[in-house]
């Protein structure tokens, strides 16, 4: 039997607390979403979906991986953005090693997602790499 795909929207109250303007705000928001007991144990990848005014529509806990990597499926990231009518996204993943610098693979993935976002007129605002004591912003470092 083929089942119909159903999409539901629920309104959330827009506040200044759920509007992201800076990389620091992105980092602080993601840190609230991360389990601090596992941030140094295994990699995770999360996405904030935003409207045109940079209010958060929702978050997706995209994947959990191992000590040195996790999977980010571009089709699922873009598909979710289209389903929730997001105008922008912010990516984040953690580095359990504590090294905030992006790897070559991190840079390649970010560029691939950016290219896909441009196709659908979705802004990739930033990609944040988190550690337990700080972050790296692709935007602030000129990589976006």
Where exactly are the structural domains of the chain?
A: 20-124+132-137
Q: Is it true that domain 20-124+132-137 has CATH number 3.40.140.10?
A: yes
Token digits for 103? 């790897």
Per-residue pLDDT tens listing for the chain (144 residues): 665 655 555 555 555 568 899 999 999 999 999 999 999 999 999 999 999 999 999 999 989 988 888 899 999 999 999 999 999 999 999 999 999 999 999 999 999 999 999 999 999 999 999 998 999 999 999 999
Spatial CA neighbour of 136 closest among 46, 24, 18:
24
CA–CA dist 39, 97 (Å, integer): 10
Name the residue among 104, 130, 126 with its Cα closest to residue 36: 130
The pLDDT, as a whole number, for residue 120 is 97
Residue 3: the pLDDT is 59
Contact between residue 87 and residue 122 where contact means Cβ atoms under 8 Å apart: yes
The pTM of the full predicted model, rounded to 2 decimals, is 0.88
């Amino acid at each position: 039997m083929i089942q119909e795909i159903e999409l539901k929207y629920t309104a959330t109250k827009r506040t200044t607390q759920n509007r992201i303007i800076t990389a620091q705000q992105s980092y602080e928001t993601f840190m609230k979403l991360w389990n601090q007991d596992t941030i140094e144990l295994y990699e995770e990848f999360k996405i904030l979906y935003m409207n045109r005014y940079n209010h958060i529509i929702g978050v997706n806990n995209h994947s959990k991986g191992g000590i040195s990597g996790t999977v980010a499926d571009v089709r699922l990231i873009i598909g979710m953005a289209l389903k929730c009518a997001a105008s922008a996204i912010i990516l984040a993943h953690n580095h359990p090693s504590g090294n905030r610098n992006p790897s070559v693979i991190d840079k390649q993935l970010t560029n691939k997602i950016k290219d896909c976002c441009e196709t659908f007129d979705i802004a990739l605002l930033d990609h944040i790499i988190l550690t337990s004591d700080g972050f790296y912003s692709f935007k602030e470092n000129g990589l976006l």
